[in-house]
Amino acid sequence: MDGGFKIARIFGIKIYLDWSWIFIFVLVTWNLVALVFPSIHPEWSFGLTFAVGLSASLLFFASVVAHELAHSLVAKARGLPISEITLFLFGGVSNLQKEPTSPQEEFIMALVGPLTSIILGVSFLIIGLFLIGSSGRFLFSPQTSLSQIGPVPTLLFWLGPINIFLGIFNLIPGFPLDDGRLLRSILWAATNNLEKATKYASFGGRAVGWLFILTGIFMAIGANIPFLGADPLGGLWLVFIGWFLNNIARQSYEEVIIEKRLEGVAVSSVMNREFSFVSPDITVSDLVYQKIMKTDSKAFPVVSGEDLVGIVCLDDVRKISQDEWEKNTVGKIMTPKDKLDIAYPEENTMEVLEKLVAMDICQLPVIKDGKVVGMIDRKDILEWVQLHLGKKD
C-alpha cells in the first residue's frame, strides 16, 4: 500500500489512511472548531470547543469506517476477498479484489453501507434526545435548544445528521457510489450482462459527476442554487467532488472491461517470450550500461545456468551510489528467488494482474519446470486488452 499508512486491523481487514485524508480531517475539524460549535456555544472555552470538534471529527471518520466495514463484511461472508479499507480525501473505499458473482450479491453488498450510515445517524439522534430529555422542545426550536445543551448532546446532534447525509449521498444513482452499484445490480439482472450493466451505470456516475461540476461552477460565479445557495467555496468543492466522481466512474468501467477481456486468458497467451536475462556475476555497472540503457526493460531475470536465482530491477540499482556500481555484482543487489512472486504459463492473467497491482510492481517472471520462459508486464497486459476490445459481447 503506497501513499498512506496502516492504523488498524479489524476482522482481518487492514484499515489504511491515505495522506489526502489528513487534509479533509484538518478541514472538518477546523470548520467545527472555528465556525460550527462557536456559533452554537459562544460561551465555551477554546479548549472545550477544540475537544468536542476533534472528537466529532474522529467519530465521524469512525462512522465512515463502519460504513465500509459493512460492505466488506458482507463481501467476506459471501466469499469475496477484501484485504483492506482506505480512508482518503472523499471518505472511504473497500478494496474489493473481485467483482460480485451475481446481481443479488451486489445488491445486498451495496445496500448495507448506506443503511449502516443511516442507522448510525438515527441512533446518534435518539441518544442525543434521550440525554436532553425533551425531544419536543428540541424539534420546535433546534437552534435555541442546541445552545442550551451540553457538549455530548451537541456532538451527537452533529453526528446524527452528518451520518444520515452520508447514507443519502451514497444513494445518488452514480456508479461506483452505492446506489450506482444498486442500479448496476438491477441492470445486470435485467440484461444478464455485467459489462453492459457497468457501462450504463458508469454513464450515470459520469452524468452525476458533470452535474456536480456544472452546479459548482454556477455557485462559484455567484448563481443562487436552490438548497445550496451561492457559496463560491462550496461551489469549488462541488466541482472537485464532481471531477472525482467522473473519474472513478470511468476507471471502474475500465476495470470491468479489463476483467471481462482477460476472462479465461492464460499467461502464456500474453507473456513476452523475448526477454533479456543477466548473470548474478556481472557488475551493476554492466547491468546499467549494457542492459538497462540499451533496452526498454527495467527488470531482468537473474539466471545461473538455466535456473532462475532472482530478479534485478532499476529500483535495486538506485539503492546503491554510482561509485559502488563497479564494486558490486547483480547477485548482491537482486531480489532472490525465495522472496519473489512468480507467474506460471497456465495461470489466469487476471489473477496475475491483480497480484501486480496489489504488490505495486510492473512485471513478474513466468516459470515452467524451474526455468524462465517469459516475462509478464502490466503494460503488455493492458496492450493485449486494447487489441482485443470488442471481441466479446
Give the pLDDT of residue 77: 84
Burial of 143 (0-12, 13-18, 19+ CB in 10 A): exposed
Instruction: Please tell me which residue, 125 or 253, carries the higher pLDDT value.
Output: 125
Q: How far apart are alpha carbons 77 and 180 in whole angstroms? A: 22
pLDDT at 135 over 70: no
Q: What is the pLDDT of residue 51?
A: 96
Residues 167-195: pLDDT tens digits?
A: 888 777 777 777 788 888 898 999 988 88
- Residue 391, pLDDT score: 52
Contact 24, 87 (CB under 8 A): no
Distance, CA of 167 to CA of 245 (rounded, Å): 16
What would the pLDDT profile of 194-207 be if each residue is shown by its tens digit? 888 888 888 888 88
Q: Are 177 and 90 in contact (CB under 8 A)?
A: no
- Classified by CATH at the fold level, domain 267-387 comes out as CBS-domain (3.10.580)
Which pLDDT belongs to residue 28? Answer: 87
CA distance 336 to 309: 6
Would you place residue 2 in the very low, low, confident or very high pLDDT band (cuts 50, 70, 90)?
very low
In the numeric block, which cell numbers belong to residue 367? 516459470
Q: How far apart are CA 369 and CA 371, in angstroms?
A: 6
Q: Is the dihedral of CA 270, 271, 273, 276 positive or negative?
A: positive
Whether residue 133 is predicted with pLDDT greater than 90 in this model: the reply is no
Please name which of 271, 254, 289, 256 lies closest in space to residue 346, comparing C-alpha atoms: 271
Give the side-chain half-sphere CA count within 13 A for 62. Answer: 9
**Are the beta carbons of 106 and 61 closer than 8 angstroms?**
no
Q: Sorting pLDDT into bands at 50, 70 and 90, what band is 4?
A: low
User: Nearest CA to 149 among 160, 161, 139, 157?
Assistant: 157
Q: Which pLDDT value is given to residue 351?
A: 82
User: Which pTM value belongs to this model?
Assistant: 0.66
- pLDDT more than 90, % of the chain: 15
Confidence of residue 1 (pLDDT cuts 50, 70, 90): very low
For residue 79, what pLDDT is reported? 79
Going from the C-alpha of 249 to that of each of 173, 177, 245, the distances in angstroms are 11, 9, 6
List the domain boundaries for the chain. Answer: 4-171, 189-261, 267-387
Cell of 340: 519473489
74 C-beta neighbours (distance < 10 Å), count:
18
Predicted confidence band at 7 (pLDDT cuts at 50, 70, 90)? confident
Q: Give the H or E element holding residue 260.
A: helix 232-261
Is residue 362 predicted with pLDDT exceeding 60? Answer: yes
Which contacts qualify for 262-266: CB closer than 8 Å, 24 or more apart?
262/348, 262/349, 262/350, 262/353, 262/381, 262/385, 263/350, 263/392, 264/348, 265/348, 265/349, 265/350, 265/384, 266/345, 266/346, 266/347, 266/348, 266/349
pLDDT band at 141 (very low <50, low <70, confident <90, very high): low
How remote is the C-alpha of 370 from its chain's centroid? Answer: 36
User: How high is the pLDDT of residue 189?
Assistant: 92
Q: What's the confidence (pLDDT) of residue 163?
A: 93
- Backbone φ and ψ for 220, nearest 5 degrees, come out as -65, -30
Instruction: Give tens-digit pLDDT for 42-94.
Output: 999 999 999 999 999 999 989 988 998 898 888 888 877 777 787 776 666 66
Hey, which residues does 310 pair with through a beta bridge? 302, 336
Task: Report the length, in residues, of the chain.
Answer: 393
pLDDT above 90: residue 275 = no
What pLDDT is recorded for position 377?
A: 81
Which grid coordinates belong to 204?
450515470
Give dist(CA 331, CA 320) in Å, integer: 13
Report the percent of the chain where pLDDT is more than 70. 90
